[in-house]
Structure 1
């Protein structure tokens, strides 16, 4: 009889441990999933931190599609508990984009994939940005416009500044771009 009671108690204790462990795992996965979904737009993550150190200029080369615009600075974005993108494209066909040619140090904003502006010469620098007064990677063009490069990888880039005048007039300051293949 003692063996049956000990076996039943052991099974009860093990079952309770398994259930509580499974609950913690499911709860942890749910929190992680929520944070990932909360910080994404069109499947691309807004979850970024500012790049530490110099970024290789060749990484910005190519065509980048604007998929998210945040109305505020990067500092405001990092403190925002709900930083979803508020970008709705006005383009019926195509998309807003910016083309970088790092070999010639030129950039060209393109509205709705059709209305092309002329190429503009830029300087890619790492140092104290005159606009933000912080040491960072930035692009200077038209002698007085500065765009901070917050972060860049092979698929996405986050820029802060007056990237496209049409979007900047509506309050957009932080841009999430996706590389076009």
Structure 2
């Protein structure tokens, strides 16, 4: 009889823990959902918060189309009340894109889907970024160039750094990319 009473008591405590944890998770997701989106570009939303912890390097793999550029840093973007993306593609046909091959740790920018550059070797790291001095996900290429990986999901990726030299001269530092299917 004691075993049944103890089992029922343990079950009640465990169920209350699960319910309270689920309620906290829902509240947390609601807060993150509220803070995570700030404007859209061509139907693609900009994420405001940086990824917490290490991002799996295989998530970067694939073709990524540039759909938005913010003229300023991620810190500027996160406090900007009305961030605007001022990216207008010069491509008559096609689009600017970046192709990542995570298995070979190489990437290649492609201008207007036709002008192909050569593959560049990169290292995807999580740690203290030598450029920003913060612990974050970043890409290092040509031994002294760094691009911060703000966040990646199945549809979008946000990068900060000198990704497109033409845009960097005009102040473009934050890039919104959409996965090409």
Task: Give the structure with the higher percent strand.
Answer: 2
Deviation at residue 84 of structure 1 after TM alignment: 2.0
Gaps of 5+ in 1: 1-31
Question: Which whole-Å CA distance do the structure 2 matches of 1:164 and 1:102 have between them?
Answer: 20
Q: Is the 8 A contact 1:40 1:84 kept in 2?
A: no
Q: CA deviation at 1:48?
A: 2.7
Q: Which runs of 4+ in 1 moved over 4 A?
A: none
CA drift of 1:139 comes to 0.2
Name the CA distance, whole Å, in 2 between partners of 1:123 and 1:158: 17
* Structure possessing the higher radius of gyration over alpha carbons: 1
Q: 1:81 offset after TM fit, Å? A: 0.5
SS of residue matched to 2:76: helix
2:161 — aligned with what?
Answer: 161
Is 2:123–2:139's contact at 8 Å kept on the other side of the alignment? yes
Which residue of structure 2 aligns with residue 57 of structure 1?
A: 57
C-alpha deviation, 1:166, in angstroms: 1.8
Which residue number corresponds to residue 76 of structure 1? 76
Separation in structure 2 between the aligned mates of residue 131 and residue 103 of structure 1, nearest angstrom: 25
Q: Which residue of 2 aligns with 1:110?
A: 110
Query: How far apart are residue 106 of structure 1 and its match?
Result: 0.1
More off after superposition, 59-68 vs 40-49? 40-49
Contact 1:127/1:137 (CA < 8 Å) preserved in 2? yes
SS of match in other structure, 1:166: helix
Q: Does 1:99 pair with 2:108? A: no
Distance in 1, matches of 2:51 and 2:112, equals 29
Q: 1:10 matched to which residue of 2? A: none
CA distance in 2, matches of 1:151, 1:48: 9
DSSP 3-state at the match of 1:59: helix
Q: What secondary structure, in the 3-state scheme, does the structure 2 residue paired with 1:158 have?
A: strand
Corresponding residue of 1:130: 130
- Provide the residue aligned with 2:45 in structure 1: 45
Cα offset for 1:150? 0.2
Q: The residue matched to 1:94 in structure 2 has which SS? A: coil
**RMSD in angstroms over aligned alpha carbons?**
1.8
- Residue-by-residue CA offset, 1:49-87 (whole Å, 9 max, x unaligned): 100100000000000000000000000000110012111
